Amino acid sequence: MDIERAVAEELSGYSSKSYVTAISGFNRIQGTAMYHEAAEYVRDELIGMGIEDAAIEQFKADGKQMFWTCVAPLGWSIRGAELRMVEPDERLLARFHDIPMSLHTFSKGTPKEGVTAELVDVGAGTSKNDYLGKKVKGKIVLASGMGRTVHRQAVVKRGAAGVVTYGLSREIPNHREAADVLDAHGYHGIWPTAENMDRTTFGFSLSMRQGMHLKQMLRDGKKVRLNAKVDAKLTTGKLEIVTATIPGTDKRDEEVILVGHLCHPKPGANDNASGSGTMMEVARTVMKLIKTGKIDRPRRSIRFIWLPETTGSSAYLERHEKKRDKFIAGINVDMVGGDQDKLRSTLIMDRTPDSVPSYINDLGALVMEKAVNDLDKPITRGWGATFRYAARAFSEGTDNSEFNESTIRVPTISFGQWPDMYYHTSMDTIDMISEDSLMRIGWICAVTLLTVADADEKKALELASMTCAGGTERIAAAGKTASIEIFGKLGKGASADELAAVADHHKDRINHITTLEQNAVRSVTRLARSDRLDAFLDRCCADLGDEGRRELEWFTEVTRLVAAEKGLKALPKRKESEPEKESKRLIPRRMFKGRLDYERISDFMGDDAWEWYETVEDKDPDFFRKVYDGLNFVDGKRSLHSIIRAVSAEFGQTDYSMMMKLMRDLERMEYISFR
């Protein structure tokens, strides 16, 4: 039986949802007893499937242990918490056992009688301007901003007794705003380190409805006093990671990875009990198919990793430095099981960054498409499926970032339902999970993993051909985009200099994509090597090069037409800024391993200097994606200029002065050196 059919017949959305339901019953904050219980549940189920090496790896969680640039969290023991209004009325506002997300994670315990204090509205509460003219020492602040930042500004810097936030921790304009989910409690955490745990107090998260009611009372001049009781302790704990493998045959030392984060507050059904449950169902399905002889055991091993998000990946990859060279490719699953109609979401596949080109992008996209076209029944006209899916450029924020990082370099795609109406809220419950979504993503993961795990020379040829065909389309699309944009700018009255900048950018972009696609085709050599394969790859790359030259020639002709419209024979040479000129003289060299944790910049620069970073996305929404892959491109050979041009081709034109500032800050931190 072929792999696709075998997986389709065995993998069950119902079974997957049963795992998701069980996991969502744990309050899975890393370093806590309930996270440990969730990890034990996953491990025990895997052993019951016959995966004998399923185990929990432990790392120190003391708030000071470093995993490359990431600091381990502290341990946290939480037994209960409640927030009450005691003046002008007496009422219960929130209780941890009712809504675990109503307490900021890593809140510190209060005296047994609690802390009673006056409430002060500080607006967002995330910058010094929010506190001008307000006395917050010894009081509880009411804020709409991110809990961790508010706690640092109000408690650590100004001596507030505690924090109450309301609304969402993150809004998605025009899709998911606090007004859309008035009764949801947002997920906020304090995340103290060993260095500042003595200055840590507590925080509660209320709904937007509750927060607006409190604001109105304060606006009306009423004195509001709250009593906060927290029975919790910050401790030294354990960062725990569940791992398991399905061993391969002749290439069993090579591994294909399926990874997802197990952490997050209860219920966290979509984020990320759904990813964790999907991984369990994929493991069960593959084991069952091998045991029953419906598929052969693959050549390479398949490794499953459940971990605390991002920090867990850094810890695992740092410990297993020798093993990671054998990681061939990976899939990350994060928020995959949501009901698309309820969440207003689409299944998104994030590609690998351009610094890590790979065939896995085209394979993953093809299998995702087949999960609709092959699994759904055709109707008289077209298809009856309404399942939405799309592939997009790399995006960081979950564990694909760690695996794709250039000092690790495991090409890893990531799947997730996005956007999500109930992301990081108390309303991310099991009734928002769809068996159909779980079945489709499970099938995608299992088929993709097995395809890579069992690949030989014949499959490498097939993957190279598919990647080459996709690359040809993407080079042609780059040429089309270039023509559309420059004509669009012309129609809007752009100057000759502005048009020259557009032309220069798109010529760079066509060249960049051509090279990217050639490298993606050659990435199949991780799977097999032979003279026949090498000759075929040479032919593919030559064809891609020809396609790139054709698009450049055509776009050059387009720029002549645009110049003629301006009364010129050719567009002028693009003017370079002083930061751009400087970037040509600088060749950066990395002094650190792993993904950059931006908290290290905040710690080093201080709050005032960090405010620039908090607002930089207002000017360039893709700035941090550019930084991520810009650091990936740093190899001690490329100039900073060529690196900025590369990320501009990937994510859009870049302000040289902004990237220069970031690099100079990293130089002061001794994370980067220049020659």
Instruction: Give this prediction's pTM.
Output: 0.97
User: Where does the pLDDT of residue 16 fall: very low under 50, low under 70, confident under 90, or very high at 90 and above?
Assistant: very high
Among 397, 421, 453, the domain-final residue is: 453
Is residue 446 pLDDT above 80, yes or no?
A: yes
User: Are 304 and 213 contained in the same domain?
Assistant: no
Is residue 174 pLDDT above 90, yes or no?
A: no
CA distance 23 to 25: 5
Is residue 476 pLDDT above 90, yes or no?
A: yes
Q: Note the pLDDT of residue 188.
A: 97
Q: Is the CB of residue 524 less than 8 Å from the CB of residue 462?
A: no
User: Where does the pLDDT of residue 273 fall: very low under 50, low under 70, confident under 90, or very high at 90 and above?
Assistant: very high
Backbone angles phi, psi at 257, to 5 degrees: -105, 135
User: Are 197 and 286 contained in the same domain?
Assistant: no
**Other CB atoms within 10 Å distance of the CB of residue 179:** 12
Kind plus residue range of the DSSP H or E element containing 574: none
Report the CATH number at residue 148. Answer: 3.50.30.30
User: Are 273 and 371 contained in the same domain?
Assistant: yes
User: Smallest Cα–Cα separation from 417: which of 280, 313, 282, 274?
Assistant: 274
32 contact partners, CB below 8 Å, separation of at least 6? 75, 76, 77, 78, 237
Tally of CA atoms within 13 A in the half-sphere of 117 that contains its CB = 23
- What number is the average pLDDT over the span 319-331? 93
User: Are 489 and 525 contained in the same domain?
Assistant: yes
The per-residue pLDDT of the chain, averaged, comes to: 96
Q: Note the pLDDT of residue 59.
A: 98
- The residue type of 272 is N
Among 407, 430, 453, the domain-final residue is: 453
Backbone angles phi, psi at 517, to 5 degrees: -70, -35
Q: Note the pLDDT of residue 173.
A: 84
Report the CATH number at residue 389. Answer: 3.40.630.10
Q: Note the pLDDT of residue 324.
A: 85
Is residue 383 pLDDT above 70, yes or no?
A: no
Burial of 174 (0-12, 13-18, 19+ CB in 10 A): exposed
Q: Note the pLDDT of residue 385.
A: 73
Percent of the chain's residues with pLDDT above 90:
93
User: What pLDDT digit, counting tens, does each position of 410-441 carry?
Assistant: 999 999 999 999 999 999 999 999 999 999 99
User: Where does the pLDDT of residue 382 fall: very low under 50, low under 70, confident under 90, or very high at 90 and above?
Assistant: low
Q: Note the pLDDT of residue 434.
A: 98
- What number is the average pLDDT over the span 504-515? 98
- What number is the average pLDDT over the span 459-480? 98
- DSSP per position, 289-351: HHHTTSSPPPSEEEEEEEESTTHHHHHHHHHTTTGGGGEEEEEEE-S--B-HHHHT-EEEEEP
Q: Note the pLDDT of residue 178.
A: 84
CA distance 584 to 601: 25
- What number is the average pLDDT over the span 612-625? 93
User: Are 448 and 316 contained in the same domain?
Assistant: yes
Kind plus residue range of the DSSP H or E element containing 92: strand 91-95
User: Are 512 and 551 contained in the same domain?
Assistant: yes
- What number is the average pLDDT over the span 208-220? 97
Tell me which long-range contacts 596-602 makes (C-beta under 8 A, separation of at least 24).
596/69, 596/627, 596/628, 596/631, 596/666, 596/671, 597/68, 597/69, 597/70, 597/71, 598/624, 599/71, 600/69, 600/669, 600/671, 601/665, 601/666, 601/669
User: Are 352 and 399 contained in the same domain?
Assistant: yes
Residue 96: both structure tokens together: 């941890």
Q: Note the pLDDT of residue 373.
A: 86
Instruction: Please report whether residue 570 resides in a domain.
Output: no
Q: Is the CB of residue 101 less than 8 Å from the CB of residue 265?
A: yes
User: Where does the pLDDT of residue 1 fall: very low under 50, low under 70, confident under 90, or very high at 90 and above?
Assistant: low
Is residue 615 pLDDT above 80, yes or no?
A: yes
User: What pLDDT digit, counting tens, does each position of 228-239 carry?
Assistant: 999 999 999 999
Is residue 394 pLDDT above 80, yes or no?
A: yes
User: Are 448 and 461 contained in the same domain?
Assistant: no
Among 536, 565, 594, the domain-final residue is: 565
Q: Which domain holds residue 421?
A: 3-72+238-453
User: What pLDDT digit, counting tens, does each position of 181-192 carry?
Assistant: 999 999 999 999
- Angle of helix 656-668 relative to helix 607-619, nearest 10 degrees? 150
CA distance 507 to 262: 43
Q: Is the CB of residue 83 less than 8 Å from the CB of residue 164?
A: yes
User: Where does the pLDDT of residue 561 fall: very low under 50, low under 70, confident under 90, or very high at 90 and above?
Assistant: very high
User: Are 323 and 274 contained in the same domain?
Assistant: yes
User: What pLDDT digit, counting tens, does each position of 50-105 carry?
Assistant: 999 999 999 999 999 999 999 999 999 999 999 999 999 999 999 999 999 999 99
Q: For the CA atoms of the chain, what is the radius of gyration? A: 26
Instruction: Please report whether residue 573 resides in a domain.
Output: no
572 contact partners, CB below 8 Å, separation of at least 6? 496, 497, 500
User: Are 481 and 446 contained in the same domain?
Assistant: no
User: Are 230 and 246 contained in the same domain?
Assistant: no
User: Are 506 and 595 contained in the same domain?
Assistant: no
Number of H helices, E strands in the chain: 20, 19
Q: Note the pLDDT of residue 172.
A: 83
How many domains are contained in the chain?
4
Instruction: Please report whether residue 572 resides in a domain.
Output: no
Report the CATH number at residue 541. Answer: 1.20.58
